[in-house]
Amino acid sequence: MAFHGILAQLLSSIPGSIAAIFVDWEGETVALITAHDLEQDELKALSAYQVIFLTQLRNLCRDLEVGTPQRFKVDFERRKVLTCDVRDGYFLVMLADAEANEGRAWHHLERCRLDLLEEM
């Protein structure tokens, strides 16, 4: 299954999901899919910043010796952004409505992460 197909399956599994982006350590988009009429450049910028945030968070956690964060979420008034580590500097970013079920989203993000690993 190609990366786009894996991301499409993720979006179809989570009501309220808006976009899924597979991104590398430099913030470059590997694959992106959205079910909405959104600017892809804006989604790419969003995912690049998520990589920056997670990288900075990891550096801080390393310095504090508290362990390595594997995922994080940013909440906005109408949206939420969930980001998780895939492997070796690759990340999965999902944009969803604020009302999307977060537990279900994290569960499906993990399944998507495993599918991406198999494809890599």
Nearest C-alpha neighbor of 73 from the set 90, 37, 44, 98: 98
pLDDT at 113 over 60: yes
CATH topology for 3-89 is Beta-Lactamase (3.30.450)
Q: What is the pLDDT of residue 36?
A: 77
Percentage of the residues of the chain whose pLDDT score is greater than 90: 63
Q: What is the pLDDT of residue 15?
A: 92
Asked if residue 6 lies in contact with residue 119, where contact means CB atoms within 8 angstroms, the answer is yes
Q: What is the pLDDT of residue 26?
A: 86
Domain ranges of the chain: 3-89
Q: What is the pLDDT of residue 31?
A: 92
Q: What is the pLDDT of residue 111?
A: 93
Asked if residue 32 lies in contact with residue 40, where contact means CB atoms within 8 angstroms, the answer is yes
Please state whether beta strands 29-34 and 17-23 pair in parallel, antiparallel, or not at all (unpaired).
antiparallel
pLDDT for 41-95, tens place per residue?
889 998 998 988 888 888 999 999 998 888 889 999 999 999 998 988 899 999 9
Please state whether beta strands 79-87 and 71-75 pair in parallel, antiparallel, or not at all (unpaired).
antiparallel
Neighbours of 92 (CB within 10 A): 26
DSSP conformation letters of 60-89: HHHHHTS----EEEEE-SSEEEEEEEEETT
pLDDT at 1 over 70: no
